[in-house]
Amino acid sequence: MEITFIPLDYDYFEHNGKNYIKIFGKTKDGKQVCIIDSIDIYFWAIPKKENDVKSIEKKLSKISVNSVKIIKTLIEDKKFLGEDVKAIKVYANAQSELSKIIEKLPKDIEIREHDINPVTRYILQKKINPLNWYKASGEILNESGEFSGIDKSFDVDYVIKAEKIWEDKLLNSKHIFAPKVIAFDIETDEFEIGKGEIIMVSLYGKDLKKVLTLKNVNAPNYVVKLKDERELLLEFAKIIKKENPDIITGYFSDGFDLPYIKSRAEKLKVKMPLGLDGGGVKLTGGNNPRAKVSGRVHIDLLKFIQTAYSQYLQSETLSLGDVANELLGEKKKEHEFKHSSKLSGDEWVKFFEYNLHDSYLTYELFLKAWPDMSEFTKITKEPLWNVTRDGMSSNVENYIIHNLYKYNEIIERKPTHDEISKRRSREKYEGAFVLEPKPKLYEDIVMFDFTSYWPSIIATFNLSKSTMLEKKEKNSLEIDIGKGKKAYFNKKKGFFPEILEEIIKLRKQYKEEYKKNPDNLLKARSNAFKLLANASYGYQGFFGARYYCPEASAAATSISRDYLKKVIKEAESSDFKVIYSDTDSIALELNGKTQKQTLEFLKKINDKLPGIMELELEDFYKRGIWVTTRKGEIGAKKKYALINEKGNLKIRGFETVRRDWCKLARELQNKVLEKILNEGNEKSALVYTKEVINKIKDRKVDKKSLIIKTQLKKSLSEYKAVTPHVTMARKMLKKGLPVHAGMLIQYFIAEGDKKSLTRERASFPEEEKKYDVDYYLSKQVLPAVENIFQVFGLDVNDIIEGTKQKTLF
DNA sequence: GCATGGTCCTTACC
DNA sequence: ACCGGTAAGGACCATGC
């Protein structure tokens, strides 16, 4: 039997003292397969003194714990952190009690790769990468009794014991895999996992629209009525089995929907055969649960959006509603939550629509994110289930791990518990350089920035754990890393900088390909490499990293400060006026120069830059404004607004872009900046500001624009300070409303005793109270525009007092 | 009684 | 806990005059 298939999910198992991987996948013609392949379990032992290799090898081969034994050893020439080593490859007959074997090993060796899980080991060993097409030949298990009848327990078209698996290069080059996906969403009366009944479940797929419910009301035909919760759960499992999707997806379904379903199923003693092995939901991870269903891939979209998308999103929160609104241009349905016992017939129907619409939005968002998930999976070569839950540090590390074979490198181990706590308490190293701007309205500006600045420095100067030297050597690079400390790096290229250089090159290549041929997949690929490059600098300073090297990070920032200052000096001596600079960017006033001359200057800089470092044109701007800080005369950093030649605004740092300011202040500030940048003076901005101030005084402002939204960043009990939003959260808790870390607390400031604290006047948006005119003028509107008008020598306090109803002040 | 500075906190920039 | 440091700015509170 020979088939063509694509691996979606992997699992490890032991049978009769041997090790296997089962791969669940799809064939080219849409059949579901499980392929069983053998795998070697091994780790590396590196003797601390090289001449001991032979005798150590002998000692190792005799070790065993219960039925787990060392079955084979080999001595090989390897590299470890760039150094040549003679290492012993130690094979064991099972993964299960490997840690007990490790404990018994002699102390004169270093153990590595014992912490590589069997699925990653398999992918490394056989190069059967997720979401790539392969051909497999082998024997179909047809109730053969082999593997204790494993084929009978799997709900797939074929179970194949692989003899050979090889890549289908032709198919990989042209065929794009489109998975069958079902999105789902549950509704309950209680938020606590498993506390109340599941009152409805919606499912949405390409040809699927269903809401399962217990309520017997006259409802649209996509609603299926079940007699009790038990039947509802069984029906859910039945539909999943019948539809047989490759992927099931939800929004926050790791933390809510699947744990809830699992908990209710256990309570009702219902078997939920959701997986291809007939099993239910498996939860791992304790406080931060991750839900797995065997054979299918369960994806919690929220997790992936958090790591891969959030930095590009403008949304105030990452809720399904906000994200769908931004990425799809579609809103959630309006719905007021009530206890199910209090719902009327019509309200039930609305609730069904709402529930189905959430699944629909999740489904559409999934399709939007699929190119990114798929590319990240192919690039980092870890299973889709893991990749959609991994943070950027894991993505960087996985990319490195799956590329180390090119360097014959043994993989470094993860840090121990003690090492992690030591690393976490390390002192900060000095970061980027930020130039203090002179507050002013500027004309004719150019903005340059370095492409992938820190990664390009790490690659160019070879900064990494394996290239760092203990002391100065002939030809080594010496970098001052602050606090009187110096770090030395080898000139001979190490694997980390080399891999990083490749990431940057691939990013550039795919970006150019995308420009020529704009397609979603190329965009996703280019973006994945960009994110990997950007995260690689932080990775070396991250306490959990296998290739932790804060000295390399500190050296990178040190070099970045030097080169930025060099460019600033060059610009000054070429008669540009330097306005501002932050980390990797520099803003210059053209000072009478033409754009052509400016680009010539850029070229001159680039000709002198070493390695792969590159300065590029960000844009030319007609005008730009920099302001002072609230206190004092100094120019504020990380706060400016620009307008380019097409009239597009670029606003950074101002309250306009901060969600913890009320809409009124944000919109006013935005308008003021827009008017000033467009017109080149403050006149009409001033008129507009006066109008808004009068509107506030006349109490004509809609309360919606006065609401302040602040996120509860941790659980309520952890707060030392009693801020307005903490006070509001406490009130919510008292009312019995759900309060949890991560939620946005909304409130407005109502009128009250003038001497009272702000938090005492904080009120819920629905409270029928008058807003505090004084507060909104002096704490929201004034601070939002004060520094802008100050650039023109105006004092906004005078403006406030100059408008009507002077009695207030 | 009130200015001042420090701490805590959130959110931004890159 | 799950990539880094730099920075602005509000609310509150202890401190000192």
- Using pLDDT thresholds of 50, 70 and 90, give the confidence band for residue A357: very high
Across the range A160-188, mean pLDDT stands at 94
Amino acid at A573: S
Dump strand ranges (E) for A547-696. Answer: 577-582, 585-589, 615-628, 635-644, 649-652
CB A709 under 7 Å to nucleic chain B: yes
- The arithmetic mean of pLDDT across residues A551-565, rounded, is 97
Q: Rounded CA gap, A167 and A738, in Å?
A: 51
Q: Is the pLDDT of residue A805 over 80?
A: no
| pLDDT > 50? residue A809 | no
Which of A553, A529, A177, A508 is closest to A374 using CA atoms?
A177
pLDDT tens, residue by residue, A187-213:
999 888 989 999 999 999 999 999 999
* Residue–nucleotide distance: A4 CA to C2 C1' (Å): 36
Distance separating alpha carbons of residues A635 and A502, to the nearest angstrom: 39
**In angstroms, how far is the first alpha carbon of chain A from the final one?**
88
In this prediction, residue A433 has a pLDDT band, given cuts at 50, 70 and 90, of very high
DSSP state of A406: G
Is a pLDDT exceeding 50 seen at residue A138? yes
Distance A723 CA to C10 C1' (A): 10
pLDDT of residue A217: 84
Measured from the Cβ of residue A334, the count of other Cβ atoms closer than 10 Å reads 7
CA of A719 to C1' of C16 (A): 28
Does strand B come within 7 Å of the CB of A723? yes
**Residue A216 scores a pLDDT above 70:** yes
Closest CA to A261 of A288, A239, A232: A232
Return the pLDDT at A311.
Answer: 85
Q: List all nucleotides in chain B with at least one atom under 7 A from a protein Cβ.
A: 7-14
Separation of CA A755 and C1' B2 in angstroms?
13
Residue owning tokens 């100067």 = A461
Measuring alpha carbon to C1', the residue closest to nucleotide C9 is A630
Give the CA A636 to C1' C7 distance in Å.
9
Q: What are the start-end ranges of the H helices in A130-187?
A: 150-153, 169-174
Backbone angle region of A647, left / alpha / beta, with phi > 0 → left and psi within -120 to 50 → alpha: left
Q: What pLDDT sits at residue A16?
A: 85
A196 touches strand B (CB under 7 A): no
Per-residue pLDDT averaged across A787-798, rounded?
A: 89
Amino acid whose CA is nearest the C1' of C2: A391
Kindly report, residue by residue over A254-291, the tens digit of the pLDDT.
999 999 999 999 999 999 989 998 889 999 988 889 99
Category of A91 on φ-ψ map: left (φ > 0), alpha (ψ -120 to 50) or beta:
beta
Residue A175: predicted pLDDT: 80
> Of all nucleotides in the shown strands, which has a C1' nearest the CA of A535?
C3
How many angstroms is C1' of C11 away from CA of A775?
Answer: 13
pLDDT over threshold 70, residue A803: no
Distance CA A107, CA A92 (A): 19
- Distance of alpha carbon A696 from its chain centroid, rounded? 40
Burial readout A108-129 (b: 16 or more C-beta within 10 A, e: otherwise): ebeebbbbbebbbbbbbbbebb
pLDDT of residue A50: 64
Q: What is the mean pLDDT of chain A?
A: 93
* Predicted confidence (pLDDT) at residue A802 exceeds the cutoff of 80: no
C-alpha neighbours within 13 Å on the C-beta side of residue A568: 21
| Spatial separation of the C-alpha atoms in residues A460 and A472, rounded to whole Å | 19
Indicate the pLDDT class of residue A573, thresholds 50, 70 and 90.
Answer: very high
Helix (H, G, I), strand (E, B) or coil at A253: coil
Q: Check whether residue A652 has its CB closer than 7 Å to nucleic acid strand B.
A: yes
Determine contact, residues A649/A642, Cβ cutoff 8 Å: yes
Is residue A236 within 8 A of residue A201, CB to CB? The reply is yes
Degrees, nearest 5: CA angle A266-A268-A274? 55
Is A642's pLDDT higher than 90? yes
Q: For B12, which residue's CA is nearest its C1'?
A: A653
Question: What is the value of pTM for the model shown?
Answer: 0.95
Task: Please compute the mean of the pLDDT values over residues A148-176 and round it to a whole number.
Answer: 89
**Rounded CA–C1' distance between A535 and C5, in angstroms:** 13
Residue A650 CB lies within 7 Å of the nucleic strand B: no
Is any atom of nucleic acid chain B found less than 7 Å from the CB of residue A710?
yes
User: Tens digits of per-residue pLDDT, A362-399?
Assistant: 999 999 999 999 999 999 999 999 999 999 999 999 99
Q: What are phi and psi of A578, to 5 degrees?
A: -80, 120
Cα distances from A638 to residues A194, A437, A580, A657, in angstroms, run 46, 10, 9, 12
**With 0-12 CB in 10 A as exposed, 13-18 as middle and 19+ as buried, what is A86?**
middle
CB of A659 lies under 7 Å from some atom of strand B:
yes
Total length of chain A = 809
- Per-residue flag: A322 CB under 7 A of strand B: no
Residue A733 · residue A719 · CB < 8 Å: no
Indicate the residue type of A124: L
